[in-house]
Structure 1
Amino acid sequence: MLTLNIKDGKWLNAPDEFEISNHSLSFTSMPFTDFWQRTNYGYRTDNGHAYLFSTGEKEFSFTVKVQFSGKELYDQSGIMVFMDSENWLKASVEKGKSGEWLLGSVVTNHGYSDWAISQEEKDEDTVMWYRLTRKQNDFLTEVSRDGKSFRQIRMSHLFRASNEIQFGLYACSPKDSSFQTVFSCMKLEPSVWSEESHI
């Protein structure tokens, strides 16, 4: 049986300010934090904040509600799968150059990141639901504004995700800024991935 206790998570780069209750996690990002590897910009950084759970389950779905209130360029919060600094994925809402909300995803294999974005409807405080589904080394990432109707934003493969992985929540502020994120309504369940999931 799949179960998730929020207090079983472990920090990767804990922020100075955070609060964990029985049903939610909130924390404030610190300035100049990010996850990226090499591609285009040349730099490497993995000092973003992530609260991660470990599992050896090869098939599961993880859902979480994220309340995002980023203020500055590239402020971002969402979900993450992490093996090591050079092998991970993340998906999030982030602040764009013109103040718009962007829905972004990054997949990093063997130390090289890619980045895909699309524009998202803007709210003062954006609430987004994320659903991450694992099938062996493959991952389906979906989002929803109401927690009911999900749409795919990424189907990807992580070469190093053969056995135990870490997955969970993340946020960071690549520029000189900080903001609070609230994660709640977390659920771990059997995989919802079907052959029709990507249609």
Structure 2
Amino acid sequence: MPESHIIPWADASWTHDPADITVDGDHLLVTAVEGSDAWRHTAYGFVHDTEHALLAPLAVGEAMDVSFRAPWNGQFDQAGVFVRRDGEHWIKAGVEFADDHLGLGAVVTDRRSDWSVGYVDDWLGSEITVRVSRWQDAMIVRARADDGDWRLVRVAPFDGEAAASAGPFLAGPTRAGLVVRFTRWTMSAADAELH
């Protein structure tokens, strides 16, 4: 992966304030508000726009990595990277605990949301890193557990002419008390190749 530099937690702003934020050395511990989530229309018929995302600008040719840990024991607990163009165009990518499984996937929203997910139960207890690389016409999502191999999660269309921001996110749709420990947030050059 290309050389990276750390993004300070204070150099960004939240889409929606979490219930609590604590700085622990270099780490950021964030508690989700019960009922927080991000989704638009598809299959469920509702719009949720209450996620907690800490966002900084992301330009074409740049990538962001977010590393984190969480207990993963509440239905739909989720964390990862959020990329936002506006309220109807965004991507959330990372892990979500649902039906007693940890799923790795992405929700890509262009007025309506879609969802792709696959089980990664062997990642429970690991430090997870999600990486988004912005190309001229796409967002490339990769992830890994601890120091394992990078896994391609999604190649999604994304308007290269639009301003966008990205960064760590979490949501607790069904419960209070989800605490995610974000351990690292970095920026680097975007991945040059898919394979």
Give your verdict on TM over 0.5.
yes
Question: How far apart, in 1, do the equivalents of 2:168 and 2:83 lie?
Answer: 9
Question: How far apart, in 2, do the equivalents of 1:33 and 1:126 lie?
Answer: 24
Question: How far apart, in 1, do the equivalents of 2:89 and 2:14 lie?
Answer: 17
Question: How far apart, in 2, do the equivalents of 1:88 and 1:116 lie?
Answer: 15
Give how far 1:131 is off.
1.1
Give how far 1:2 is off.
7.7
Question: How far apart, in 2, do the equivalents of 1:21 and 1:136 lie?
Answer: 37
- For residues 48-95 of structure 1, give each alpha carbon's deviation from its aligned partner in whole angstroms, at most 9, with x where no partner exists: 11111124x211121121112232111101111012221100112111
Give how far 1:149 is off.
2.2
Larger mean Cα displacement after TM superposition, 119-128 or 57-66 = 119-128
Question: How far apart, in 2, do the equivalents of 1:51 and 1:20 lie?
Answer: 14
- 2:22–2:30 contact (8 Å) kept in structure 1: yes
Give how far 1:192 is off.
2.0
> Equivalent of 1:15, from 10, 13, 18?
18
Give how far 1:178 is off.
2.8
The residue type equivalent to 2:26 in the other structure is H
Question: How far apart, in 2, do the equivalents of 1:51 and 1:103 lie?
Answer: 20
Q: Rate the CA distance shift 1:149–1:42 in 2: closer, same or farther, 3 A.
A: same
1:87 pairs with 2:86: no
Question: How far apart, in 2, do the equivalents of 1:176 and 1:67 lie?
Answer: 18
Q: Rate the CA distance shift 1:62–1:148 in 2: closer, same or farther, 3 A.
A: farther
- Which residues of structure 2 form unaligned runs of 5+? none
The residue type equivalent to 1:106 in the other structure is V
- 1:72–1:177 contact (8 Å) kept in structure 2: no
- 2:85–2:162 contact (8 Å) kept in structure 1: no
- 1:66–1:127 contact (8 Å) kept in structure 2: yes
Matches within 5 A, 1:38-187: 38-55=41-58, 57-97=59-99, 99-109=100-110, 111-122=111-122, 125-147=125-147, 149-159=149-159, 162-187=161-186
The residue type equivalent to 1:191 in the other structure is A
Question: How far apart, in 1, do the equivalents of 2:65 and 2:77 lie?
Answer: 21
- Which residues of structure 1 form unaligned runs of 5+? none
RMSD: 2.0
Percent identity between matched residues is 22
Give how far 1:21 is off.
6.0
- 2:93–2:107 contact (8 Å) kept in structure 1: yes
The residue type equivalent to 1:108 in the other structure is T
- 1:142–1:151 contact (8 Å) kept in structure 2: yes
Question: How far apart, in 1, do the equivalents of 2:147 and 2:23 lie?
Answer: 22
| Count of residue pairs brought into register by the alignment | 192
SS class of match (1:53) = strand
Question: How far apart, in 2, do the equivalents of 1:137 and 1:20 lie?
Answer: 36
1:6 pairs with 2:6: no
Question: How far apart, in 1, do the equivalents of 2:135 and 2:29 lie?
Answer: 29
